[in-house]
Structure 1
Amino acid sequence: MWELFTHPSNIVFSISLCLMFLFGLFEIVLTILGGGSQGFLDQFLPEDVGHNAELGVDADAGIVTRVLDWLYLGRIPLFVWLIIFLCVYSLLGFAIQAVVNQMTSMMFSAWIIAPACIFLCMPFVRFSAMLIARILPQDETTAIYSDELIGRTATIILGDARPQSPAQAKVKDQHGLTHYILVEPEQDEIFSQGQSVVLTQKTNVGFQATML
């Protein structure tokens, strides 16, 4: 195990693991002193990262913002996210190198495995950050993502909805709040004003739905 930790091919993972412990210790000390790293690094994030849900169902975010939001950046303190990343990145790197060494008695070059693990670890980082986000105390909000409306019943309130010709409808979310959206039939049918439909999927302008 110690040879795996000190091997030149794993130097990046060793440094990452050491940094993770140092940052974790720093966070614990700040917490004991009554502070914490909340907001310490978050000022470097784009303002809309982690707040897309607060913009409502019609919010439009850029690709960079979507990627950062997918990684749960902004939903937990950036310092905590960095600790998670360093931990997952280093452990995944060591695990891959250990398996390769067990099978071939060799290891990947640091120039290959170090950048590769950055991409490979991201799904695990997202999952870990998602779990931490559920544990950490959050400000209560009634804002939602538009995908959360899928499966709910909407009512056509203005005009008739036809394929490629949506009509306005209203739908209530899990908080009991009403949202006004555009709805079109998923099949070749017509939704009349006052008719209730079930939202099935998102479109570029609104939602598709089927008859209730």
Structure 2
Amino acid sequence: MWELFTHPSNIVFSISLCLMFLFGIFEIVLTLLGGGSQGFLDQFLPEDVGHNAELGVDADHSVFTKVLDWLYLGRVPLFVWLIIFLCAYSLLGFTIQALVNQFTNMMFSAWLIAPACVFLCMPIVRYSTMLLARILPQDETTAIYSDELIGRTATIILGNARQKYPAQARVQDQHGLTHYILVEPELDEVFNQGQSVVLTQKTAVGFQATNL
């Protein structure tokens, strides 16, 4: 086991595991002192990642922001997310190297396995962070994702809506807040002003809906 830890091909994973323990100890010390890492590194995240990404129903996020959001960055303190990443990255690397060594008596080169594990560990990091985010206490917020409006009843308030020609509608979310969105029929029909419709799916500019 020690040979696996000190093997030159695994030096990156060994360093990652050591950093994970150091960061973990640092986080525990901060918590005992009544603080924690909240906000310690989060200032380096884009403003529209995490909870802020939920603000604005019609917000247009970049691919980079969507990737960060997929990784649940911003849902837990960035310092904690980094600990999860280092743990998943190092343990996955050691596991792959141990299995390869068991069957071939060889190990992947560090130049090959180190960058490969960065991508391979991301699903593990995502779901681990997702579980932790459900456990950690969160600030109350009335911000929502636009997908949460699907299934709700909206009222056409300006113009008539046809396919490819959306009209403005009003809809209330689960918090009772009103949002103004663009709605077009999912089928070949016309929604008249004042008509109530059910939102069925998100589009590039708004929502599609069906007759109530």
TM range (shorter): over 0.9
Matched, 1:52 2:27: no
What does the per-residue CA deviation read over 1:26-82, in whole Å, with 9 as the maximum and x for residues that have no partner? 1111111112111111222223322111x3202222232222222222222111111
In structure 1, the residue matched to 2:190 is 190
CA deviations over 1:92-123 (Å, ceiling 9, x no partner): 11222222223333221110010011111112
Q: For 1:117 and 1:124, how far apart are their aligned partners in 2?
A: 11
Three-state SS of the structure 2 residue aligned to 1:74 is coil
Cα 1:211/1:105, change in 2 over 3 Å: farther
Letter in 1 for 2:4: L
**Map of 2:114 onto structure 1:** 114
Q: Secondary structure at the match of 2:168?
A: strand
Q: How much is the aligned-residue C-alpha RMSD, in angstroms?
A: 1.6
Q: Secondary structure at the match of 2:101?
A: helix
2:156 aligned partner, one-letter code: I
Matched, 1:42 2:42: yes
Structure 2 matches for 1:1-212, cutoff 5 A? 1-50=1-50, 51-53=52-54, 55-212=55-212
State the Cα distance separating 1:200 from its structure 2 match.
Answer: 1.8
Structure 1, gaps ≥5 residues long? none
Offset of residue 198 of structure 1: 2.0
- Counterparts of 1:105 and 1:145, CA distance in 2: 50
Amino acid at match of 1:170: R
Structure 2 unaligned spans of 5+: none
Question: 3-state SS of the aligned residue for 1:183?
Answer: strand
CA displacement at 1:185 relative to structure 2: 1.1
Distance in 2 (CA, whole Å) between partners of 1:58 and 1:168 is 13
Q: Measured at CA, do residues 182 and 24 of structure 1 come closer, stay the same or move farther in structure 2, by a change above 3 Å?
A: same
